[in-house]
Amino acid sequence: MVKRLANFLKHSYLGLVLLFMYAPIAILILFSFTDSRTMSKWQGWSLGAYEKLFADGAVWVAVKNSVSIALISATVATIIGTFAAIGIYSMKKRRRMVIENITQLPMVNPDLVTGISFMLLFTAIGFTSGYLRMLIAHITFNLPYVIFSVMPRLRQSSNRLYEAALDLGCTPMKALTKVVIPDIMPGIISGFILAFTLSIDDFVISWFAAEGVQNISIYVYSIARRGIPSHINALSALMFVVVAALLVIVNLRSIKQEREAEAQANKLRSK
Amino acid sequence: MKNTIKKAICLALLVLFVLGSFSLSGCNSKETLYILNWGDYIDPDVIAKFEAEYGVKVHYDTMANNEEMLIKLESSTNIYDLCFPSDYIIEKLIKSDLLREINKDNIPNIKNIDEQFLDLSFDPGNKYSVPYMWGTLGILYNTTMVDEPVDSWGVLFDEKYEGQIYMYDSMRDSIGVALKYLGYSLNTRNEAEVAEARDLLIQQRSIVKAYLGDTIKDAMIGGEGALAVVYSGDAVWCVDPEEGNPDLAYVVPNEGSNLWFDNAIIPKTSKNPELAEKFINFLNDPEIAMQNSQYLGYSTPNKAALALMDESWLENEIYNPPQEVIDRCEIFHDLGEFTAVFSEAWDEIIY
Amino acid sequence: MKRSVFATPYIVWMIMFIVIPMLFILYSAFIKDGQFTLEYVRQAMESPKYMNVLLRSIVIALISTALCLLIGYPVAYILSNMKKSTAAILSMFFILPMWMNFLLRTYAWQVVLADNGVLNMLLTSLGFPKGEFMYTQGAVLLVTVYNFLPFMILPIYTVLSKIDRSHIEAAHDLGANSIKTFFKVVLPLSVPGIISGITMVFIPAITTFAISRLIGGKNVALYGDLIEEKIVSSGSLGLGSVLSIILLVLVIISIFVMHRMEVEQGNEEGGTLW
């Protein structure tokens, strides 16, 4: 009885927090189906916001930039970062400490300061390509997160694997790709997902680092300062649906596998 | 180990150097015109028409205020070919030698511009700039919330309207409001006068709802405030019974106000000045100028465009202010070193 | 060939895009027209208003972090005690909003909190008087907490779900009740998660000028606004750089202190987001 009450309380708490997190999103989605200037009155159902959204070229450029930068920067950061983690892991203590500390810098550095430092660098060397500026900035702030996701896995994996592979005649590159990397794969994947998330979510660093290029954040910021256009509701709704679908697809398989494993374990136990 | 680090640093510097000398301009097959402008300050259809007519691409970015625009233009990595800053910023850009002289042979449509908007003090002879829009700064008020006749900036400092006043998030405009109310010049170089304006605005903060940018328009149309400082062009649509809110009215106070001009300029760094000139010429085509001006609500200096408009526009005193209103207004000038005094006062007000 | 060469591309990258850019900030903070200057430092220190803004921002960031921890810890704890597969699905729901862009989440609240917004619509339809929510400190806090809550929940959840159940069982076997077990065993073991949660919330909370601009209307100007304004709209690069360095030094000191605490706790590995 007490346990049931406790469970009920736990579940309602989770429900409340989820309500807090989803209520504003739900409201945006609801209002994306009406086309009124102010949101004080419900003015009937309409797909006007979606029409406007599809007619607005700037939004789609921004979406394309956000997604492509997130994908490319996460991929590049994952590759460089994984090799870096492997390399750093094999270093001597002192040197490793120095590099690990510098690597922490972008993580603890307020994103505003990181963004400004990029702005100063790019201005000083006269580098004008806005897209590449944004991409470089994103790769840089993603790198530490990849490295620190891979590192714990390396600690768990055995050093001897690599050496054994070398003894068996593998080249270092081959030993790495055939033996070490498969072993630390979960760390690499979570590093990639983390990098992707942070890149999609970033506003401040992009704001300073890029010039003449807009991603979703910069677009919404500049437009929200001017008022509340209804097609942003439609954009949010679409983003949400796509993101939710992606997450479900990504997670469904692993959940299924886990379920099966659990069922297997239960079977064994009951025997 | 020292050696590897040295090598790494050398390699890093080398790559940075290569990055710097690497330019992306060769990547686009179509000619691209880079424009930097205010938010909501051109009819998107005008850009589309230009792109179709000349077979080029327009890259259009927006800024929130004059100071931001100035910094973009001063930066060594400025990529823009065309920009529309206000009078005092143009004055400063000319002084800093950042603008390119405009070749008027490429802009025959300049003949359509009313002479009273040419050869103004910030750019004598229009060597560097071509007028784009102009207007005044004034008070937008909601007649259902403000009963008294509004004709003075003083109403913005009246405690009766606590929590219903929006100020404009722009240093020169906001301090300018206080200066005018106190009877001083917008271009004062007297520290005591600026300090007096500053104290007035600090005192006013407790009754101000917020310092906002372009969001003011929506807030006022939505009836979320009684009084706001806005530009005339924004006011035109705010008071419109269909697009805006019929309860709103706009006034340029008796103490005088700011008369401003936003002109088209071409930075020295522009890689495509001829295309920029083509665009300026295109903007001054009477039909295009009319379409753009009516879309925005901002007044056009193009007299050929005005000639095409019907009476309702010409009689609209916000859009086409009578001479006595213009006469009591003042144009901003670049304050040079004295800008620092304004910035400091602004910091005190905001933070 | 030594394995450490694999880190070379990263080291080059790091020098180019972490070390050199930071040197540029130092340069613009202390060099004017090719000469060393303390003018910007003087400007930053001279007027108390900059320090006041910093203090105000720290207080607001601290309150938001504390609220995130208070709301987020129980969530992570409850999740970690659930069946693995259920927890996996539920934790997905906490990740999802992070994939919606930060600005879109902030914008959603603009719609909710506006004078004629959804919240007031609800209030008036229930017969309550209208409230004013936009441009207040409370609104800025609310939106900050909303935006950064997932960044608190996830690292704590990761750490909690890795705790070996046998520790807890052992505590129970030794006669500790649930509350005692929680405070003596679970909480100390979850410190790394708490620390990474705090860093992931506190640092961005000090500097997000987007929230204070869009939700605060300059009434709640934060340190981030100040720096952004100095660098982007008033062109005082030197002063802006000094202000950034002050912030960075402050953050590094607090991280250092937190790490000390962590080491004293005997934990070496930090919690990660996943």
Note the pLDDT of residue C270: 46
Q: What are phi and psi of A42, to 5 degrees?
A: -80, 120
pLDDT at C44 over 70: yes
What is the domain-level CATH number for residue B184? 3.40.190.10
C50 at interface of B, judged by CB pairs closer than 8 A: yes
Note the pLDDT of residue B184: 96
pLDDT at C89 over 80: yes
Helical ranges in C47-175 per DSSP H: 48-80, 84-99, 102-113, 118-125, 137-162, 165-173
Check CB contact under 8 Å for C97 and A22. yes
Residues B120 and B267 in one domain: yes
User: Nearest CA of chain C to the CA of B173: how many Å?
Assistant: 14
> Could you give the CA distance from residue A103 to residue A105 in angstroms, rounded to a whole number?
5
Other C-beta atoms lying within 10 Å of the C-beta of residue C189: 18
Note the pLDDT of residue C39: 92
User: Nearest CA of chain B to the CA of A95: how many Å?
Assistant: 9
Note the pLDDT of residue A228: 62
Helical ranges in chain A per DSSP H: 2-31, 48-55, 57-89, 93-108, 111-125, 130-156, 159-167, 172-175, 181-183, 185-201, 204-209, 216-224, 230-270
Report yes or no on B274 lying in a domain: yes
Residues B170 and B240 in one domain: yes
Return all residues near A130 (Cβ < 8 A) that are at least 6 apart: A210, A211, A212, A213, B79
Least confident of A79-88, A261-270, C57-66, C111-120: A261-270
Least confident of A100-104, B143-147, B261-265, C55-59: A100-104
> Could you give the CA distance from residue B47 to residue C69 in angstroms, rounded to a whole number?
50
Residues B150 and B203 in one domain: yes
Report yes or no on B2 lying in a domain: no
Report yes or no on B47 lying in a domain: yes
Q: Please give the single-letter amino acid code of residue A256.
A: K
Q: Secondary structure of B138-189 in the HEC alphabet?
A: EEEEECCCCCCCCCCHHHHHCHHHCCCEEEECCHHHHHHHHHHHCCCCCCCC
Q: Which two tokens stand for residue C131?
A: 């409230």
Chain A residues within 8 A of B214 when measuring between CB atoms: 225-227
Tens-digit pLDDT profile for residues A118-142 = 999 998 888 888 899 999 999 999 9
Other C-beta atoms lying within 10 Å of the C-beta of residue B327: 10
Domains of chain A, earliest start first: 59-230 (1.10.3720.10)
> Could you give the CA distance from residue A77 to residue B187 in angstroms, rounded to a whole number?
52
Report yes or no on B48 lying in a domain: yes
Residues B38 and B109 in one domain: yes
Mean pLDDT, chain A, whole residue set: 85
Chain A residues within 8 A of C199 when measuring between CB atoms: 107-108
Residues B98 and B237 in one domain: no
Tens-digit pLDDT profile for residues C13-26 = 999 999 999 999 99
Residues B212 and B341 in one domain: yes
pTM listed for this prediction:
0.88
Mean pLDDT, chain C, whole residue set: 88
Q: Domain containing B145: what range?
A: 136-259+329-350
> Could you give the CA distance from residue A110 to residue C246 in angstroms, rounded to a whole number?
11
Chain A residues within 8 A of C18 when measuring between CB atoms: 102, 105-106, 140
Note the pLDDT of residue B22: 58
Region of B55 (left: φ > 0; alpha: ψ -120 to 50; beta: rest) is: left
B70 at interface of C, judged by CB pairs closer than 8 A: yes
Tens-digit pLDDT profile for residues A25-57 = 998 888 888 866 555 456 678 888 898 888 888
Q: Which two tokens stand for residue B28?
A: 């686009």
pLDDT along chain B (351 residues), means of 10: 71 76 53 87 92 92 81 84 94 94 95 94 95 96 95 95 93 95 96 97 95 86 92 92 90 96 95 95 96 93 95 93 94 92 92 86
Euclidean distance between the first and final Cα of chain C, in Å? 33
pLDDT at C238 over 80: yes
- Best probe of the B interface among C51, C234, C239, by most B CBs < 10 A, is C234
Note the pLDDT of residue B76: 79
Q: How many CA atoms lie within 13 A of A179 on its CB side?
A: 21
> Could you give the CA distance from residue C111 to residue A224 in angstroms, rounded to a whole number?
10
Q: What is the ipTM of this complex?
A: 0.88
* Nearest neighbour of B8 by CB, restricted to C12, C52, C219: C12
Q: What are phi and psi of B193, to 5 degrees?
A: -65, -40
Residues B240 and B212 in one domain: yes
The per-residue b/e assignment along A130-146, b for 16 or more CB within 10 angstroms, e otherwise, is bbbbbbbbbbbbbbbbb
Return all residues near B209 (Cβ < 8 A) that are at least 6 apart: B163, B164, B165, B166, B225, C135, C217
B199 at interface of A, judged by CB pairs closer than 8 A: no
Q: What are phi and psi of A62, to 5 degrees?
A: -65, -45
Residues B31 and B102 in one domain: yes
Note the pLDDT of residue A101: 84
B338 at interface of C, judged by CB pairs closer than 8 A: no
Q: Which residue has the tokens 């690499």?
A: A188
C59 at interface of A, judged by CB pairs closer than 8 A: no
Report yes or no on B115 lying in a domain: yes
Q: Measure Cα distances from B231 to B175, B219, B280, B312, B350 in Å.
A: 15, 15, 23, 20, 21
pLDDT at A260 over 60: yes
Report yes or no on B164 lying in a domain: yes
C52 at interface of B, judged by CB pairs closer than 8 A: yes
* Among C residues 164-183, those touching chain A with beta carbons less than 8 Å apart: none
Tens-digit pLDDT profile for residues A155-194 = 887 777 888 888 888 888 888 888 888 888 988 988 998 8
Q: Which two tokens stand for residue C266?
A: 């005997």
Q: Which residue has the tokens 């005005």?
A: B306
User: Nearest CA of chain C to the CA of A132: how many Å?
Assistant: 13
Report yes or no on B4 lying in a domain: no
Strand B129-142 with B227-231, pairing: antiparallel
A158 at interface of B, judged by CB pairs closer than 8 A: no
Report yes or no on B74 lying in a domain: yes
The count of structural domains within chain B is 2
User: Nearest CA of chain B to the CA of A233: how many Å?
Assistant: 16
Residues B245 and B271 in one domain: no
Q: Which two tokens stand for residue A43?
A: 């003015």
Contact B62, B91 (CB under 8 A): no
B4 at interface of C, judged by CB pairs closer than 8 A: yes
Residues B343 and B222 in one domain: yes
Note the pLDDT of residue B161: 95
Residues B141 and B56 in one domain: no
Residues B188 and B333 in one domain: yes
Q: What are phi and psi of B256, to 5 degrees?
A: 100, 170
Check CB contact under 8 Å for B351 and C221. yes
* Among B residues 15-34, those touching chain C with beta carbons less than 8 Å apart: 15-16
Q: Please give the single-letter amino acid code of residue A63.
A: V
Contact A21, C94 (CB under 8 A): yes
Chain A residues within 8 A of B34 when measuring between CB atoms: 212
